[in-house]
Structure 1
Amino acid sequence: MNIETMETHSFDVLVLGSGGAGLRAAVEAASGGGLSVAVIGKSLLGKAHTVMAEGGAAASIGNVDSLDSWQTHFYDTMKSGHYINNFRTVEVFAKEAAARVLELEQWGAVFDRTPEGLIMQRAFGGHSFRRLAHIGDRTGMELLRTLQYKAISMDISIFQEVTITRLLMDKDRIAGAFGYYRADGHFVVFKAKAVVLATGGWGKVYKVTSNSWESTGDGAAMAYRIGAELQDMEMVQFHPTGMVWPPGVAGLLVTEGVRGEGGILYNSEKERFMLRYDPERQELSTRDVVARSIFKEVQAGRGTPHGGAWLDISHKGADFIKRKLPGMYEQLLTLGDVDITKSPFEVAPTCHYTMGGVKAHAETCATNIPGLFAAGEVACGLHGANRLGGNSLADILVFGRRAGIAARDFAGSRKGEVSIPESQIEEEVTRVLEPFNRPNGENPYTIHEELQAVMSTHAGIVRDQQTLEEGLEKVLKLQERAKNMGAQGGRAYNPGWHAVFDVENMLTLSELIIRGALERKESRGAHWRTDYPDELEEMGKWNFVHEYSPDGDRIKQVPVPTMPPALQEICARPVAPGREASDKPNQRKGASS
């Protein structure tokens, strides 16, 4: 097939993913002037998984707690990540998060306000201060709305409902991407001098998850296949509070904002059990601790009727709840027939976030593939072994911007036309159409359902050597069966065909999750092994990096970067001193009121 006969577009910068990280990258790439920028979305614009982030964006603005500082945010993030984070990534993040949130306000984001007219900030688990800038419990939706309007006001091309199946190479450099329109299945090639991956995580490998349908790890899997390094894949976060009942909404997120606004956890014996597990932080302990605590209570026979814990916010009063948590009030009432202003409700851990991903440079978000950059949940380096609530929305603002700058600079310096060998296109067209040659082949939905059962049972919130090894064997068998997945009908409006590629990507990443979990013979953050229950100093010196090879996954140990003395000093003291006035971001009162 001749590439010239296929729909083809050429851009300087191509952004894969239309969520917060992708749109922020595109805005920055297009701000330099003179470069062409495009955003490719798997779903409709405005429907990306970013809307599911509810509680807020963490930033040391200091509007509510004046002693908050980037140093304390740095300390909290490193501690939560159990010190396998990249310290430089965390430093850049902590220093820049406040400016990015205030910038978003200047672009039109409507945050909740203090009585003085400043951005309101709420408490969240693991944060030393009230730090999360929020819009009720719909912060992600407001962030995405703001970035969406900013992007469409600029000269940015936006392609909606396009599935990308392969990253294309010009020798050792990125050259673009191949995909198809989901509506009618016709193919499209995007040539680009630089590509930003902002494709999100892969929570759909688990049965009970807060993730939406797009979260199948497409970007990470495609990057891995062209040689990009993936890191810390064993680190999968289980948010402690997902809906439990009815079954159709099991796993749907109950924002940490409920606990941030005063919600209390109880077991079936009406005991406030977090007083035992973390007497100091209680319900506002880190997510890994709270999730394990609920799991242990259920295992001990003190769980709720449907296998979780009770979460109660009713003591705060109906007016307070409806004002601070309107989304949660409506969600639980509509989907669970529970009025949270009157009674407690059941919650249980749900797969929520993937801390591992494509290894990205701290300042530039560059990967080891020239011209390929990664930002947001698809990237690795910031969160380590456990992500703090609220750090994800700030993450996509800080590193979406940095990825956009770096991609713009790379594209601007790349001379000449991008060259894509026709053989890459021909190979991918053949591969993508192959399922239609097997109309009676394996059902991708069946493979996906079985994969979710395997991962939930063998690589979930609790792990051990035997269980992981059994899980790996099952995943490898599913990979063999997946080679015979089939699709019926035509290419137009065919979700069964789309599912084939989603499942292939999830199978690839599931194998890496288990292999990483087998290598990390300790318990650290979200990674809990009952056969190695302690956090070991020696294991904390290493990140596990995955490299693709035709013979299978190769794992290597890479030393965790050593912090310089100044940052070690910050981590040695629980609360950093208040910053100087000159370090405070300049926020206008009522800027978006």
Structure 2
Amino acid sequence: MERHTYDVVVIGAGGAGLRAAIAAHEAGARTAIVCKSLLGKAHTVMAEGGIAAAMGNRWPEDNWEVHFRDTMRGGKMLNNWRMAQLHAQEAPERVMELEDWGALFDRTEDGLISQRDFGGHKYARLAHVGDRTGLEMIRTLQQRAVQLGIDVFMECTITDVFVSASSTSGEKAIAGAFGYWRESGRFIVFDSPTVILATGGIGKSFKVTSNSWEYTGDGHALAMRAGASLINMEFIQFHPTGMVWPPSVKGLLVTESVRGDGGILKNSEGKRFMFDYIPEFFKAETADTVEEADAWYEDKKNNRRPPELLPRDEVARAINSEIKAGRGTPHGGIYLDIASRRTPEFIKKRLPSMYHQFKELADVDITAEPMEIGPTCHYVMGGVEVDADTQESAVTGLYAVGECSGGMHGSNRLGGNSLGDLLVFGKRAGDAATAYAKGLGANRPKIVEADVKAAERSALAPFEVEGGENPYTIQSDLQQSMNDLVGIIREGSELEESLVAIEAFKERAKTMKVEGHRQYNPGWHLAIDLRNMLIVSESIAKAALARQESRGGHTRNDYPATDPEWGTKNLVVNLTADGTGVELHEKPLPVMPEELTTYFAAAAPMANVQTEEGKN
């Protein structure tokens, strides 16, 4: 069996994983990147609009305090305040770092990094590269990692993280990881005192998603099996704008940059309907009339934003309501129109990827006609519960960053905050993991060989089943069930039904049958992925049933109001002692220091902000 020794093993090669690996390597750690598919093949490229950072290049008034406030308000005050603070403070430096490494950002007239408007942000603060910022970020980080000579294990899936007793303290700590080469099926073991999870999201548990095939909740499930907790799993972001036609590309992301650059939303009657859905919380900052909204795009002095630039959860719910009311398009979406708002030259320059995407995939010229779009499962706000400063989980030596980490975004992520999140906390995790590994010296936890044998047996189990079920059938049924019962609008009875269905899927998964050999066997890969998808799906459904209110990316039809009492606590899930199910408990929200609460007093209601005196 192939075996390697490192100080830091990073699982995942998107923006968070690459930035963590670069930080660890530069801090002096022997570092490896392990990725399920190819280097650079990550959902990071779907973050097309830009990196949110209060650099003040467009609006000198912008600063980290305003960005922090926008992030907390966008997350409906359930965010881990310390993570939101660190992100707002450090994102500008991380953007400048990317530029130093070769990222080619668009420029302002004065030659500064250009920044564009995005939903939920008071000022234009997204540093961007046309509408392909994530791609440029991945290209830059990938080039940097290769230049530094960091070891990369591509098309290698990690199935288990090993936890052993520390030789000094006796406490449980990370000892390494187990996986297999997807091409050959041969097993591989990594001896390492630290593992950084950067595996992305959970979108493939849903039928309609912008996520690629890799996003099966691997990091979430690996952390739970190792003994860590997940937080905020009820909050799923359904991006307001995904393609709805043709069926082969249903769910494919349409960047928020279209709305940031002037695009408007219309129903089948031609009405610009977002003015009917402005929440009280945002009325002071949102335009009241079409004329005022149109003027905002040309002259932003009054800074009252068009309602199309409300946070994503608000826009997604509005679109869903219009479709359900029978005012949708022929293919079950609504219209996103930029053709009537901007010149063809402007659209092709600012939105080149969107122009080509619709032209090639849907035969739609977005410079001449509107796009048909609808909500698509895009992002999970929930993830591994971590320390805000180091990103370490409850398991010593196990870190989580990016989409598989929880807390930063609260109940809803603002567009543009994902790429900054990857950079800021990727670096922090890499630095923290290296410091811990170096501090151990020779006293590293050792992998128990019996655990290696058990991991091997578990991975091969689907080959031993006689007459079992095809894993593709189970996956398809799970995706349909999650889409229908745990989707954008939820009901208590449907959530209860989903949990019954998930238990049935778990029973069916015990008898999954894989045909053929280990080489080039996608059925085997899916059988392993399904174990993770089922754990994550149960976590989402259980938390969604428990939270009896509507907030951010969680909307309950039977509890439509936002409840201040629920705004004081998070929901945390763990695996049961026998590892067969998910258990849930409530946890008080971290207390925000008094000096930070002042940023909300003048601009927004203070609901759900707990001070050190315990007042709301």
TM-score, L = length of structure 2 = 0.91
- Corresponding residue number in structure 2 for 1:480: 507
Tell me whether 1:573 sits opposite 2:602 in the alignment.
yes
Partner of 2:24: 29
Q: Which residue of 2 is the match for residue 590 of structure 1?
A: none
Aligned equivalents of 1:12 and 1:155: distance in 2? 15
2:561 alignment partner AA: D
The offset of 1:574, in angstroms, is 2.7
Other-structure match for 2:213: 213
The residue number in structure 2 matching 1:427 is 454
Matches within 5 A, 1:345-424: 345-416=371-442, 417-424=444-451
Summarize the alignment of residues 134-153 of structure 1 with structure 2, pairs less than 5 Å apart: 134-153=128-147
Asked if 1:188 corresponds to 2:165, the answer is no
Match of 1:302 among 327, 341, 345: 327
User: What residue in structure 1 maps to residue 297 of structure 2?
Assistant: none
RMSD: 1.0
Between the aligned partners of 1:395 and 1:439, the Cα distance in structure 2 is: 46
Deviations along 1:303-340, one digit per CA (max 9) or x if unpaired, are 11111110001120110000000000000010011000
2:339 corresponds to? 314
How many Å separate the matches in 2 of 1:12 and 1:64? 42
> Where does residue 64 of structure 1 map in the other structure?
58
Of 282, 291, 305, which aligns to 2:307? 282
| CA distance in structure 1 between the aligned counterparts of 2:187 and 2:420, rounded to whole angstroms | 35
Q: Which amino acid in the other structure matches residue 45 of structure 1?
A: L
Alignment of 1:53-92 (within 5 A): 53-92=47-86
Following the alignment from structure 1 to structure 2, what is the Cα–Cα distance between the partners of residues 175 and 167?
8
What's the CA shift for 1:155? Answer: 3.6
Secondary structure in 2 matching 1:450: helix
Following superposition, the deviation at residue 439 of structure 1 comes to: 5.8
1:342 counterpart = 2:368: yes
Structure 2: which amino acid aligns with 1:196?
I
Partner of 1:333: helix, strand, or coil? Answer: helix
> Which residue of structure 1 aligns with residue 105 of structure 2?
111
Asked if 1:128 corresponds to 2:122, the answer is: yes
How far does residue 266 in structure 1 lie from its aligned partner after superposition?
0.2
Deviations 1:162-194 (A, max 9, x none): 011000112210111100000110000001011
2:521 to 494, 497, 514: 494
3-state secondary structure, aligned to 2:336: strand
Are the counterparts in 2 of residues 173 and 369 from structure 1 also a CA contact under 8 Å?
Answer: yes
Alignment check: 8 A CA contact 1:439 1:488 kept: no
CA deviation string 1:497-542 (max 9, x = no partner): 0000111111110001000001100000110001100000001101
Amino acid at match of 2:66: T
Distance 1:131 1:244 in 2: 29
| Paired AA for residue 413 in structure 2 | R
Task: Name the SS for the 2:151 alignment partner.
Answer: strand
Q: How far 1:418 sits from its partner (Å)?
A: 3.9
Residue 614 (structure 2) aligns with: none
Deviation at residue 153 of structure 1 after TM alignment: 1.2
Is the contact between residue 355 and residue 387 of structure 1 (CA under 8 Å) also seen in structure 2? yes
Which residue is equivalent to 1:586? none
Deviation at 1:49, TM superposition (A): 1.7
SS at match of 1:47: coil
Partner in structure 1 of residue 291 of structure 2? none
Q: Match for residue 179 of structure 2?
A: 179
* Deviation at residue 66 of structure 1 after TM alignment: 1.2
Pair 1:555 & 2:578 matched: no
Residue-by-residue CA offset, 1:392-434 (whole Å, 9 max, x unaligned) = 0000000000000100001111132441111101111111111
Count residues in correspondence: 569
Deviation digits for residues 245-302 of structure 1 (CA, Å, limit 9, x no counterpart): 0011000000000000000100011100001112534100110000000000011111
Report percent identity of matched pairs.
54
Tell me the CA shift for residue 438 of structure 1: 2.2
What amino acid maps onto 2:2 in structure 1?
E
Q: Secondary structure at the residue paired with 1:109?
A: coil
Deviations 1:82-119 (A, max 9, x none): 01111011001100011101111111000011111111
Matching residue within 522, 539, 553 for 1:526 = 553
Per-residue CA shift, 1:540-574, capped at 9, x if unaligned? 10100112123532211110012111110002233
Corresponding residue of 1:438: 465
Q: Which residue is 1:252 aligned to?
A: 252
Distance 2:457 2:23 in 1: 36
- Of residues 337, 346, 351, the one that matches 1:325 is 351
Post-superposition offset of 1:50: 1.1
State the AA in 2 paired with 1:186.
R
Structure 2 letter corresponding to 1:137: D
Provide the secondary structure at the position in 2 that maps to 1:445: helix
**Residue type at the aligned position of 1:303:** G
For the residues of structure 1 that align with 2:40 and 2:566, how far apart are their CA atoms? 41
Answering whether residue 42 of structure 2 is matched by residue 48 of structure 1, we say yes
Contact 2:535 2:582 (C-alpha < 8 Å) held by counterparts: no
Q: Which residue of 2 aligns with 1:513?
A: 540
Structure 1 counterpart SS, 2:595: helix
The answer for the alignment partner of 1:537 in structure 2 is: 564
Amino acid at match of 2:352: P
The more displaced of 436-445 and 181-190 is 436-445
SS of match in other structure, 2:570: strand
For residue 48 of structure 1, report the CA deviation from its aligned partner: 1.6
**Secondary structure of the corresponding residue to residue 369 of structure 2:** coil
Report the AA paired with residue 495 of structure 2: L
> Which one is further off, 440-449 or 531-540?
440-449
Residue pair 1:197, 1:373 contacting (<8 A) in 2 also: yes
> Retained in 2: the 8 A contact 1:238–1:350?
yes
SS in 2 for 1:111: coil
Counterpart of 1:230 in structure 2: which amino acid? L
Q: Is the 8 A contact 2:174 2:445 kept in 1?
A: no
1:196/1:375 contact within 8 Å kept: yes
In structure 1, C-alpha distance between the alignment counterparts of 2:594 and 2:448, rounded to whole Å: 49
How much does 1:486 deviate? 1.2
Return 5+ residue gaps in structure 2 as ranges. Answer: 166-171, 279-285, 288-305, 605-616
2:73 match: secondary structure: helix
1:75–1:574 contact (8 Å) kept in structure 2: no
Q: Could you give the per-residue CA deviations for residues 140-178 of structure 1, whole angstroms, max 9, x where no partner exists?
A: 010001001111111411110001100011221011110
TM-score by length of 1: 0.95
The residue matched to 1:193 in structure 2 has which SS?
Answer: coil
Give me the whole-angstrom Cα distance separating, in 1, the residues matched to 2:576 and 2:37.
Answer: 31
Shift of 1:226: 1.4
SS of the aligned residue for 1:373 comes to: strand
- 2:464 maps to 1:464: no
Q: Secondary structure at the match of 1:398?
A: helix
Amino acid at match of 2:134: G
